[in-house]
């Protein structure tokens, strides 16, 4: 059985977010990614594993190294989810617009 995790679990951690930022512009090997962080290599490997399980990145074996690439379409799911939040605010503020119309009428 394939283990599938929630993408929000992936982005809950600052190191994993930083890894995604690095991968947003280019594909990188695990070694090259690790060089950007002041933490032990196994810790980075663990983060890479979580990101992979959440299907936000994918790795391909090239010789002895694994090269990681961001999965743009799955990052999009996060954007779509954020879009819902935007709608909540739009709704809230439409109600507020309406309230101002009422308040102005009462003032007259």
Partner 1 sequence: MNANLQFDFIVDKENSVLTVIREFAAEPQMVWDAYTKKELLEKWFAPRPWTAKTGHMDFREGGHWLYAMCGPDGEEHWARMDYQSITPITEYIAQDLFCDAEGNPNTALPQSEWKVEFKPTTEGNTVAHNTIKYNSLADLEVVLKMGMQEGLTMTLEQLDELLGTMKNK
- The smaller minimum CB distance to partner 1, of residues 1 and 82, is found at 82
For strands 57-62 and 28-29, give the pairing.
Answer: unpaired
Q: Which is nearer to partner 1, 62 or 91 (CB)?
A: 91
Nearest-approach distance from CB 38 to partner 1, in angstroms: 18
Report the residue number, 42 or 100, with the smaller CB distance to partner 1.
100
User: Least distance to partner 1 from the beta carbon of 64, Å?
Assistant: 32
Return residues touching partner 1 (CB under 8 A).
8-9, 11-13, 17, 21, 78, 81-82, 84-101, 103-104
Q: Are 39 and 45 a contacting pair, CB within 8 Å?
A: no
Q: Contact, 79 vs 48, CB < 8 A?
A: no
Q: Which residues lie across from 68 on neighbouring strands?
A: 28, 59
Separation between Cα atoms, residue 67 and residue 19, nearest integer Å: 13
């Amino acid at each position: 059985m394939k283990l599938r995790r929630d993408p929000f679990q992936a982005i809950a951690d600052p190191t994993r977010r930083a890894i995604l930022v690095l991968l947003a512009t280019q594909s990188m090997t695990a070694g090259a990614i690790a060089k950007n962080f002041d933490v032990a290599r196994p810790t980075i490997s663990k983060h890479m594993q979580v990101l992979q399980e959440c299907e936000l990145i994918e790795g391909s074996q090239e010789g002895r190294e694994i090269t990681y690439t961001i999965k743009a379409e799955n990052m999009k799911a996060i954007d779509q989810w954020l879009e819902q939040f935007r709608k909540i605010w739009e709704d809230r503020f439409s109600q507020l617009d309406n309230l101002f119309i009422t308040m102005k009428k009462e003032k007259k």
